[in-house]
Chain A
Amino acid sequence: DAKTTQPPSMDCAEGRAANLPCNHSTISGNEYVYWYRQIHSQGPQYIIHGLKNNETNEMASLIITEDRKSSTLILPHATLRDTAVYYCIVRVASNFGNEKLTFGTGTRLTIIP
């Protein structure tokens, strides 16, 4: 699976959009970009995933550059409950289940009141 690089920490004001970047310059054509987050002392929570098109769901938007070497997770209106560690993961889609997720160190996002 491709390696990802994320900033170790970021702050964002409550109510503003939080933009979390991720570099994955060695991504292969069949690898998806996944985002998970982990709120303190809880298990990681799936947020969104994409291959090459931008994706949006009720939690966030995922913007993937045309060359697929980087992506940005956008939380449109950050709340205090969005304070968490955010993990960007790149892996091949599996036909048999979730298989192995390789978590990096992630970005610790702090929402400031």
Chain B
Amino acid sequence: KAGVTQTPRYLIKTRGQQVTLSCSPISGHRSVSWYQQTPGQGLQFLFEYFSETQRNKGNFPGRFSGRQFSNSRSEMNVSTLELGDSALYLCASSSTPGHAIEAFFGQGTRLTVV
């Protein structure tokens, strides 16, 4: 079956703009999480959605937001972009409730803010 799909793969934006990234989870997976990866901070958790509800949120400013649709696809939005938002944004999906679930990651969207 198809893996986690993130679009676009690469993006260049200007400071002050906003951006929307998309993530399509593996079919049947209802949990979607977002992570930011930078050379300085490593992989950091942004938020998680399950059945269209945000259930966990990391320590990021309110400029970072997300949502999940009824088909489990998720989008994350970053408003008023800053140079420091340049990063690889990764999305992960996992299946419906069960314990010790493994997460499947997409290839990521590499965002460059200039």
Contact = CB atoms under 8 A, between A and B. Distances in A.
Q: Do A and B bind each other?
A: yes
Interface of A: 32, 34, 38, 41-46, 49, 51, 87, 93-106
Contacts of B96: 97
A97 B100 contact: no
Interface stretch (B14-22, B74-82, B104-112): B104-112
Contacts of A49: 100, 102
Contacts of B42: 103-106
B58 interface: yes
Given A94-B101, A96-B97, A43 B90 contact: yes
A36 B1 CA distance: 21
A80 B100 CA distance: 29
B100 A93 contact: yes
SS class of chain A's interface: helix, strand, loop or mixed?
A: loop
A57 to B, nearest CB: 11
A51 B100 CA distance: 9
Contacts of A95: 97-99
A97 B32 CA distance: 8
Contacts of B102: 34, 46, 49, 98
Contacts of A104: 42
